[in-house]
Amino acid sequence: MPGDECPAAGAKRPASFSPENTPGEHHMLLPSEAALSAPSGEAPEQKRTKLKHKGKRKLYQVRKSNADGTVLDAIGLLLRTKWKEVNNTASETEVPKTFGWTAEDKQGEASFCRAPPIPAKLTGDDISECEFDVYVHEISERGHGIATREDREELEKLVLSKDRPWAFAVPFVLKGEKVRVRSVRHEWGYTQADLLSVIDKSPMRVDAPCEYFGRCSGCQLQHIGHQDQLKFKREMVKRAFSSAHPIFANLTVSKVIQSPLEFGYRTKLTPHFDIRKDTPPEQVSIGFNAAGQRRVLDIEDCMIGTDAVRRGMLMARQDTKAKMAEYKRGATLLIRETNIPKDDPNGDVSKIPAADLTKDFVLDPKRWVTDVVKDIKFRFPASSFFQNNASILPAFTGYVREELQKWSRLLSDSADEGELQYLIDAYCGSGLFGITCHSGFKRVMGIEISTESISCANNNAKMNGIDNCDFVLGDATKIFEKVDISPKHTAVIIDPPRKGSSPEFLDQLIAYGPRVIVYIACGVPAQARDIAYMQGKGAIIVDGKMPDSALSPPGAVYRIASVQPFDLFPQTYHVENIVTLVREEVTNE
């Protein structure tokens, strides 16, 4: 194809190459683009098998991984959508299986087996110097552009003939753009590539304000305006559910509720450093993972941190560099925002009104910090988990509270069972949702596997003068074994880790049959998978249709009342999502 270049071994490197941008390491090479550092900078781990060879580095073969799955999902979505467009059909069953994963093809094994062969142009001794012009047709869940060497018309012709094009995953690009890329390595069914230049620019593209964007792994979306980021995240929620099960294809997803702060929102940062034998102490990089690379990028400032956290990061870097000779290995630093009394920094926070507190930071993971959510104070160790965007927490927790109160009123008016009286907070942590949603309930019961978190939750309830909350130690997968509360008057909040809930927990939840379930998720694909699991158990009604299976007890069947995403982490692909499930009364007739 005109303009393609694949230099032979020993050829002169492109002008944009620099020692920092080593071939085989995935990032953006645009020198004019800015970039932003990330909260954690932790890139998904990939399992690689390096081919044994002598001489110059050859390609890596990468096994299937969760990280690959998001790209393969997007490739499959692109090809299936194109097939239905050119054939004027809405039927998923007619789409060729070679076009990628479907909801029924859970593991995608057939798709992997039918992946097209790696093009000959990409199998030379030094694949990292193959350059191509490609067209971006889709964006993956994690913000990678899905591109092919075929433009829209050529792609449609290829799809119509049931041929599957070879795809490229390119970071920091937008749908509809034509870009110049350099291949990095071959994954299972596609090629990772670096962005060299944007030839045809999308009207959605904006200049990223951070100098590290594109080199730091923490932010993926700074090149997109904030309102377009919200649209992208809403689409990702829709995609997660439709991918989990075809029955969710027309699920209504509300517009994403945006963070009051687009930058300067993050209350916790964890920069880190590695010490190598050949690196002098004064040259050790302290920061976050470089995009697509296994090295640390030196980051002096992070724009998504709050003012207090950014001050703390400056101090932490200075202190660490001064003591670098004392470290034998690398380490992870912690900077966390806290609230302290304005007049007496060492005063008792529990006795000071929230209005009389001011922002500060701590660097010691063992220190306790205080966060405030609408005049409710929460104390917890700096190293423990707590939501890291304080600016949106009033709206976030307020939405959950309003959902519970709304359905308590509606159910009381429409049924003879009365209003909700009890709240169970599974995976309760330090008590964020149980405490902020306690009003109107006779009793709130929280459960958590961490002894430290349970102690924090009970102390937080006491500190705020809340006497209807009781937090107990236990495994959330066995929570309902000892519950002595009637499910007819009970709501359950679940806020599991990113991996989602276990089948054992979901089975218990269905069997218990609470009146309302509020499922809060930081990992939307796992949330969609869990709700699809419930649907498979006969516990979910979609569009007024009863599930085919009837495995759940009478009464424990739910309809999806609302799906509400929240943008807790602007400039990244992450999105939080809240799904409200309301039990429908059914009989086995």
Enzyme catalytic residues = 522, 576
Neighbours of 15 (CB within 10 A): 7
CA-CA distance, 556 to 423, in Å (whole number)? 17
The token pair that represents 258 in the structure block = 């945006």
Neighbours of 224 (CB within 10 A): 22
Neighbours of 390 (CB within 10 A): 20
Q: Are 554 and 587 in contact (CB under 8 A)?
A: yes
**Element housing 534 (H / E):** helix 524-536
CA-CA distance, 562 to 559, in Å (whole number)? 9
CA-CA distance, 216 to 259, in Å (whole number)? 22
Contacts for 402 with CB less than 8 Å, ≥ 6 apart:
none
Neighbours of 353 (CB within 10 A): 9
Backbone phi, psi, residue 326, to 5°: -80, -15
Contacts for 284 with CB less than 8 Å, ≥ 6 apart:
273, 274, 275, 321, 324
Q: Are 422 and 443 in contact (CB under 8 A)?
A: yes
Instruction: Name residue 254's amino acid.
Output: S
